[in-house]
Structure 1
Amino acid sequence: MLRAAGRIRRQHIGQAFLSIGKEKNYRGEVSAFSPSHTCIHLSCISQMPQAFAVHSRHVLEGNQATHTYSTPSSAHVSLTTPCPSTSRRLGADCGRYPSGVMVMVDAFTCGTNKQRKRILREIQECPAARGYFVHRETSRQLAQAMALTTLPCRAHSVMIIAHRLGCRFKSNHFESVAYHLSLREHWSSVPLLVSLARHHCGRATARLLNWKLRAFIECRRFDQLNYVMTEFIRDNIKPIRRTFHLLLSAHLRNQNLDAAKRAIQMMENAGFPVDASTHALISTVYRSLGLDTQVHTRALDALHSIDSRMATRVLNSIIQHFLDVGDELGAAQYIEYFSLTGVGVPLGNNITEVVGAYPPMRHPTGPANIVRVNPDAATFTMLIDYFANKRHFTQVRNLLTRLAEAGVKPDSGVVASLIRAFILNCRDDLAVSLLTSILHSTDLAPALCDLMGVKAVPEPPFDVRDIPLAVHAFNAILGRAMELRGLSGARFIFRVMRARGITPSLTTIEIFLDYLDRTENATPRQLIRILRSMSTTISGLTLRHLHIILRSILRREKYLFHGSGWNATASKFSPIRESTSALPQGRILLDSDTFNIDGGAKSRRQFTYDSSLRPIVLSLSRRGIRSDRATIAMRLRHESMLDPSLDTARDVLRHMVDQGMHPNQYHYVALMDGYAKGGNMRVAEQIMRAARDAGFKPEVVMYTVLITGYGRQGKPELAMRAFRRMVSAGIAPDVPAIDALAHAYFVVGAYKVARRILLQLWTEVRPFQHELQSATLKQLATAFRANRGDQASQRQPLTKHQQRLLNCKIRGFQREWKQLELQRGPRSLSGRLDGCRAWLLDCSWYNLAKHRV
């Protein structure tokens, strides 16, 4: 627990993520690593070099770069002999160019104006160095090589040096450099390059402005979109269809359907009517708004008119939509459109058998007229992730065979998916083997095996020799490394990334924060401080980072409002039991305006976390980022605690629908939980039926909400009935569902029934520990909730035999409950019911909770 660990523990966290930017000899780090080695104090860590801050302090739009560097002591450099302080850092970045060239570029980048003039004179006087900067094609090739290094700002310096030495570039030279920046996803450097091109060439081009628009989209700077469009007008440049497509995709990715409609109107007014490529584009970026069959139908009709690459992206997006909502039948039908190159068997046939042996899809035009589309690496990445989450590891291996048959070249995404699949299959040795193979280093194998506690594998399970190293592979193994070794594992992975020149991504921050929240139980304030510190190392904040903090705050709000443990509810029904909650009731930790990213935080009241969270919310708001469906789902949970009538929650949900966002199962669960806590179980049941009608199959979470709601009302019979309905639907119970059922009987004093439920249903989620056979009910409940198992895994549906066994156990629970009721007598039963009614009538929101949605 972080709170109990004190300052040293917090310093370990700081050391873990600050090691991303540490510059140290990697071989020394590997030899010194040991799983039992404790982290040193933060005070022992050298400060992060300023050169690493290049990636964090970007000016996406402006006149002058504001990158911060450490100023060299001398501007004198040599063409062939690099500086000792930088030779270790350059490594493979030098490529086919002499290391002295890069040293000169770095010295020019971080030097003062006086030092830059001296460097220009030295280059002018050195024929070997001048040859790289005085010819346009040579300088362009050097800038492209610099764009592929870990510090892409070197490309700008090359263009500036060449321009000052008399080299005059054309717009296409800057366009090629922007393309190479996009290959390494150095999007934050593209706007500055476009501004430099406009300064050198006198005006920009439509392609350069499109690159700038794409860079702002990837950097989530939606506030700059209108500024780019004004640049077209200022330079008298006519936008092309791709310009409007970029603008349309940006608004859809930002959940701004009204702005997307205006972009389509602007495109039509400019003489570009909506065509098949427009419908295809909409389907690929519509995922954030939800599943829309009309969008999919139009995109499917456009497959005949678009190129093969775009057709593959369209099908990948549609299939991913169906997999997101759990519609395996819909996904299997669209997989039939894929075909294997040189093989007559469609890819979808094998997948259809796995997802449930559904009948073949009935196509309106007949199977002979189906458009066959070739899969790509993203297709296999999506399917590998799906089968791994379903624990179909045999099909994961079959997909590797299909990948070779299709002639698809695997990429880093496929490697990351395979690493995750091996970890889920408890084959950490194969995951380590795959990572060391893509690292092309035999020195790392012993250290990684020592880190993960596995033995080395002679041969990797998949040939990855030609796949470039990317951050995705490290993100795939980071969570497992922290699970096994804690913050020491994160520190080791970060240092390997630093040594290999891999910049951590926004997903890296998300994985790190999620671990601190779920495993280390970091407080919201600690998460906020860590996020703000890491955002200075890695540029950008996203809504997914904010979601982790909001989730932590909502969990604490729930504890403050409803308490924790079985005694919190049992004290309301027992005349001798007192409430154990020592925290003030009704304390609000967060203002509702904090969830309104569109307008920022405007509340005048001071809440517990508003002062800490407000800068993050304002940062997202100033960049034009709008609330997504996950943020609104958290808002619904928050409003359900503030307003038991859920009037505000219903208004929020209606506003989301009006904005074009489709509710998913999380929104239905949030509403169900709100009405269940308010005691209106009839409406909660209606919401679950509405979710079923909307295409979302009831999950174990929905039934758990019902079981918990009936348990809070002191109605264990209805809680058991909801549990039985869940079993009859083939849904396997998990730890929270069984815990809620036992809690329902504990509330009314049926301790023997609660104990029997835990003992007999324990094996449904994990093997039973026989030493707990004689434990007390409190010890059983504590041990049962201590380890919830793999909650991320999707358990298989119950078979008919398993359903019959569970129903037999349920009937035994019900018989024991009836015998207990007969022993208590009718007076005890009526007294308990009268106490339940009195408690409900005493609640100030009882009458308000009767209203329906």
Structure 2
Amino acid sequence: MPWRVGRDLRQLSQAAHRVLERVHIPHHSLCVIAQPLHSTRRVLWPPAVAFKLKHSHAPTVENASHLRENQVPQEPGVPLSQAGLRTDGSQEGADGSDLEPLAPSAEVLSALSGLFAQHPTRCTVADLRSSRTQYIVPVLRHPHHGPGLVLYLLESRGLDLALWTLKLASEVGQKFPATFYGQLAAWLTTRKRWRDVLRVTLFARKSLGHTTTSLLNWRLQALMEIPRYVSVGEALALFEKEGVTPSRLTYHLLVSMHLRNCDLPSALAAIGAMESAGIPVTSKTTAVVMLNYRSLGLTPSIKAQALDVLRTTSNDQVATAVLNGLVQLMLDAGDMHGVVAILSSLMQAPEDPSSAPGADSIPEDGASNDKIDPALTPSTFLPHRRNVANVATYNILLEYLANQGDLSHAVRVLQEMRAAEILPNSRTAAALARLYFATGHANDALHLVAGTLVNFPAAVSVLPHLGYTASIPPEQPIPPPTPPTIEIFNSLLLGALKDRGLEGLYAVLSMMQVAEVEADATTLTILLSYKHRREFASPRELIKIVRLLMSSGVTPTMQHLHILLSSLLRQEREGTRARGWHVYPSATSDSVAEQPACTAYSHPTAGITFHTRRKHSNLLRPVVQSLTDRGVQSDRVTFGMRIKQDGVVKHDMEAAIQAFRAMVDSGLQPNIYHYAALIEGYVEAGDMEAATNTLRTARAAGLQPNVTVYTIIIFGYARLARPGQAIKAFRDMVAQGIRPDVPAIDALVSAFFRAKAYGMARRVLLRLWPQIAPLEDNLLEAPLRELAVTFRQLHVDNEDIRERLTSEEKCALRSTIRKIAKRWTDVTYKGLKARRMGSASHVVTRTPKYTKPLGG
């Protein structure tokens, strides 16, 4: 169907161009705004209309290179200016609040526009005289009107005309001080216009004839946010060349830059250079590290330093930043209980439980009074003695619960926010929209989006095309309206693509155009992920989309590369993946490996190369070259794909282990995905002992295996026709409270099929079917092949979110597994007894109704 592929590519490219052609900002950063935690009980916004909650859900964790349907990808790190840590007691972090745009008269504006059209590069005093527009000179020379005019033009007409006016004002005698340029850069920073910040700092250097520490720091931050990473030596050499002294902020920006780039040695070098310059490490340095350490993963030493700062610092801004960074790192590792323990050890809970924030919140409309897991009760992990929790603290918790699909506890976090008088912001709204879409409350999510678009009726009119019904009131809490942001639209785009496909994409892009919200790199990541996962687009098609947008000025990021590499890796693996229950994967690869252009682990691709894919490599080269030229290094996701390719595709476990060790040596902390890649490699090699030992190592490291890891183990035993071991692994998974999904049950059934126990395979499938969906009566007598094919089709509807088992469900499922295990023991015993008596086992090798290979 080449014509259909080409049509979809053209449609997606045209839709993306409608908004993405104006994209210049590839960075989507987290927002941390320091606000105190109050204890009054005034309700700030109304509670839920109906407190009728469905079961909470937790997602089935997939490969690290995949974007979950209900998850917005986020860049690690938080801008220091937004964290309240940028100033370091100086005037460098001035936010430009004393600058006010002053609209000129229509005559002055018309004269400037005309001069700009006639002399687009440079306008001199002679040009002014010849055009008889000398009357604008007093305005340009005025100490307040001149800067105000520049800011007005910057806001309304863009940077080109604003900088042109700056040059013209300098020609007629206006002297803009260095602080003005710093305030101009700060104004652009609040709008994330990083490339314009670079232009302003460059023009300031030419206009003043010199530069300042503040202007160089603005330039350094803009380079970090683009991102374009520079070495510590290169950055400090620039300061030395300009004859200015680096400040503490300079070194903090260098630390942030290299931590975001997963370059721990360079970050340590920046801290060493700071100490050599006579600037000691303080609690603010620790806060900077915590805000940007997310890309590396939590380590015991970082955790210990964070706890020490929280216990000793008297600076609430520093404590807030450290707290939020630590909570984010621990939640990334899935350690909610650790978050509870950390905060409980730091903050003393109130003696009277009824005085805790939110303690007066009671279930509404007949909601259940069941006891909530204390590890997820917000009143147990929000501080009471110190005002260090702010809106960002709650947002981190809400985003974690949104990714888990845990609606009930997310609503309780919102109740805590109301009780603590913490006003929700746009990031709160984005997390809630993602949560409501993921848990089946799409109309509530659309109500929330409609609230942000009250000033854009044309955009609201598009919402019914996404299923919005204004007449149906929301069932879940809807916070007060916030201005529309790209984060909210990205959450809307995730839900719209899932429910409406490309039709939803067109609707969201048109709404963004009406609301004048520009797309960012995350928007493109969501689009690529949709094409990759939902439409199974070929690597060539995805690469062409990225190349097409690069020609429009879009800067590729590591998140884009992750999807492209994942698509190539999936295509390469198709030749070695097992199909059905009868087929065994080949032990070796027959394709000839192309010699890698770069095998260095620090390369953006972590040295990943693909077999017989030279055309794809040529297409991918400009994307990789763009990242390489900007100094971008590999991260944990690319390392995970390198480990998986070496172990699973190339069947080279020595190379996989070497890549794993190289990742650890570089300071990147492995997560469950990296261990899963090693486990899958051992399974492919048939070494189940090494696979189970690796699983135990991961658990000893504090990582919680997910359903995917257990499925790999179960499948490994199935390949070796060991149903007894497969049952044991399945039972261990259930004991951990992990709900089995379609692949896990399918892998267990295949273990009996491989052992030629076809009757047991059919019986196990029928017994476990209700864990996924109700079993229809017409399937009770269906042959095994029909059952297997029908069951696998259910995975589409159940792959997004899988909640953990409740205590009752766990007990019931363990009882079912015990019965299956006992039945298999009896079957095996009877088979052995029959063989000893010299007769063929009619139980184990009974002829099935359909014994041809089942399709994968």
TM-score, shorter chain, exceeding 0.5:
yes
Amino acid at match of 1:491: Y
Number of residue pairs matched by the alignment: 749
Give the Å deviation of 1:802.
Answer: 3.1
The answer to whether residue 773 in structure 2 is matched with residue 766 in structure 1 is: yes
- 1:231 corresponding residue in structure 2: 238
- 2:342 corresponding residue in structure 1: 334
The answer to whether residue 737 in structure 2 is matched with residue 721 in structure 1 is: no
- Give the Cα separation in 1 of the matches to 2:431 and 2:108: 38
Give the Å deviation of 1:791.
Answer: 3.2
The answer to whether residue 491 in structure 2 is matched with residue 462 in structure 1 is: no
Aligned residue for 2:292, secondary structure, equals: helix
Q: Which ranges of structure 1 fall in alignment gaps of 5 or more residues?
A: 22-47, 57-92, 573-578, 834-853
Give the Å deviation of 1:587.
Answer: 6.5
Give the Å deviation of 1:392.
Answer: 3.3
Give the Å deviation of 1:514.
Answer: 0.6
Q: Is the contact between residue 428 and residue 454 of structure 1 (CA under 8 Å) also seen in structure 2?
A: no
- 1:171 corresponding residue in structure 2: 178
- Give the Cα separation in 1 of the matches to 2:347 and 2:116: 49
- 2:543 corresponding residue in structure 1: 528
Q: Which has the higher mean CA deviation after the structures are superposed, 694-703 or 598-607? A: 598-607
- 1:512 corresponding residue in structure 2: 527
- 2:10 corresponding residue in structure 1: 11
- 1:550 corresponding residue in structure 2: 565
Matched ranges for 1:229-628 at <5 A: 229-303=236-310, 304-305=312-313, 307-336=315-344, 345=355, 355-357=373-375, 372-439=386-453, 440-452=455-467, 454-456=469-471, 461-465=477-481, 467-537=482-552, 539-569=554-584, 585-586=590-591, 593=598, 596=601, 598=603, 607-608=613-614, 609-628=616-635
Give the Å deviation of 1:648.
Answer: 1.0
Q: Is the contact between residue 290 and residue 321 of structure 2 (CA under 8 Å) also seen in structure 1?
A: no
Q: Is the contact between residue 422 and residue 428 of structure 1 (CA under 8 Å) also seen in structure 2?
A: yes
Q: Is the contact between residue 415 and residue 434 of structure 1 (CA under 8 Å) also seen in structure 2?
A: yes
Give the Å deviation of 1:413.
Answer: 0.8
Q: Is the contact between residue 412 and residue 468 of structure 1 (CA under 8 Å) also seen in structure 2?
A: yes
- Select the residue among 637, 642, 651 that pairs with 2:644: 637
Amino acid at match of 1:683: A
Identity of aligned residues (%): 29
Aligned residue for 1:522, secondary structure, equals: coil
CA 1:745–1:104 in 2, change beyond 3 Å: closer, same or farther?
farther
- Give the Cα separation in 2 of the matches to 1:278 and 1:430: 42
CA 1:489–1:359 in 2, change beyond 3 Å: closer, same or farther?
closer
Amino acid at match of 2:483: P
- 1:194 corresponding residue in structure 2: 201
Aligned residue for 1:162, secondary structure, equals: helix
Q: Which has the higher mean CA deviation after the structures are superposed, 280-289 or 405-414? A: 405-414
- Give the Cα separation in 1 of the matches to 2:514 and 2:330: 40
Give the Å deviation of 1:561.
Answer: 1.2
Amino acid at match of 2:390: D
Give the Å deviation of 1:320.
Answer: 1.2
1:273-332: CA deviation from partner (whole Å, max 9, x where unpaired): 112221222222222111112222222322343532232121011111111111111111
- Give the Cα separation in 2 of the matches to 1:291 and 1:477: 31
CA 1:310–1:420 in 2, change beyond 3 Å: closer, same or farther?
same
CA 1:651–1:140 in 2, change beyond 3 Å: closer, same or farther?
same
- Give the Cα separation in 1 of the matches to 2:113 and 2:725: 71
Aligned residue for 2:749, secondary structure, equals: helix
Amino acid at match of 1:247: L
Q: Is the contact between residue 821 and residue 829 of structure 1 (CA under 8 Å) also seen in structure 2?
A: no
- Select the residue among 694, 697, 702 that pairs with 1:687: 694
Where relative contact order (Cα < 8 A, 6+ residues apart) is larger, the structure is 2
Give the Å deviation of 1:811.
Answer: 2.2
- Give the Cα separation in 2 of the matches to 1:122 and 1:480: 59
- Normalising by structure 1, we get a TM-score of 0.79
- 2:85 corresponding residue in structure 1: none
Q: Is the contact between residue 385 and residue 417 of structure 1 (CA under 8 Å) also seen in structure 2?
A: yes
Give the Å deviation of 1:624.
Answer: 0.8
- Normalising by structure 2, we get a TM-score of 0.79
- Give the Cα separation in 1 of the matches to 2:143 and 2:349: 44
Q: Is the contact between residue 429 and residue 448 of structure 2 (CA under 8 Å) also seen in structure 1?
A: yes
CA 1:314–1:104 in 2, change beyond 3 Å: closer, same or farther?
farther
Q: Which has the higher mean CA deviation after the structures are superposed, 178-187 or 320-329? A: 320-329
Amino acid at match of 2:486: V
The answer to whether residue 760 in structure 2 is matched with residue 753 in structure 1 is: yes
- Give the Cα separation in 1 of the matches to 2:679 and 2:120: 64
- Give the Cα separation in 2 of the matches to 1:310 and 1:798: 39
Amino acid at match of 2:421: G
CA 1:804–1:191 in 2, change beyond 3 Å: closer, same or farther?
same
Give the Å deviation of 1:257.
Answer: 1.3
Amino acid at match of 2:805: P
- 2:676 corresponding residue in structure 1: 669
Matched ranges for 1:132-147 at <5 A: 133-147=140-154
Give the Å deviation of 1:104.
Answer: 7.3
- Give the Cα separation in 1 of the matches to 2:658 and 2:510: 48
- Give the Cα separation in 2 of the matches to 1:673 and 1:787: 24
Q: Is the contact between residue 449 and residue 456 of structure 1 (CA under 8 Å) also seen in structure 2?
A: no
- Give the Cα separation in 2 of the matches to 1:150 and 1:735: 55
- Select the residue among 183, 191, 198 that pairs with 2:190: 183
Amino acid at match of 2:603: D
- Give the Cα separation in 2 of the matches to 1:648 and 1:514: 28
The answer to whether residue 797 in structure 2 is matched with residue 797 in structure 1 is: no
Amino acid at match of 1:18: H
CA 1:719–1:816 in 2, change beyond 3 Å: closer, same or farther?
closer
Q: Is the contact between residue 181 and residue 204 of structure 2 (CA under 8 Å) also seen in structure 1?
A: yes
- Give the Cα separation in 1 of the matches to 2:118 and 2:759: 77
- Give the Cα separation in 2 of the matches to 1:281 and 1:97: 42
Amino acid at match of 1:469: P
- Give the Cα separation in 1 of the matches to 2:567 and 2:195: 31
Aligned residue for 1:560, secondary structure, equals: coil
Amino acid at match of 2:491: A
Q: Is the contact between residue 339 and residue 375 of structure 1 (CA under 8 Å) also seen in structure 2?
A: no
Amino acid at match of 2:541: Q
Amino acid at match of 1:321: L
The answer to whether residue 220 in structure 2 is matched with residue 206 in structure 1 is: no
Give the Å deviation of 1:142.
Answer: 3.5
CA 1:263–1:584 in 2, change beyond 3 Å: closer, same or farther?
closer
Q: Which has the higher mean CA deviation after the structures are superposed, 107-116 or 278-287? A: 107-116
- 1:815 corresponding residue in structure 2: 823
Q: Which has the higher mean CA deviation after the structures are superposed, 746-755 or 310-319? A: 746-755
- Give the Cα separation in 1 of the matches to 2:130 and 2:104: 15
Aligned residue for 1:561, secondary structure, equals: coil
- Give the Cα separation in 2 of the matches to 1:118 and 1:754: 90
Aligned residue for 1:730, secondary structure, equals: coil
- Give the Cα separation in 2 of the matches to 1:419 and 1:300: 33
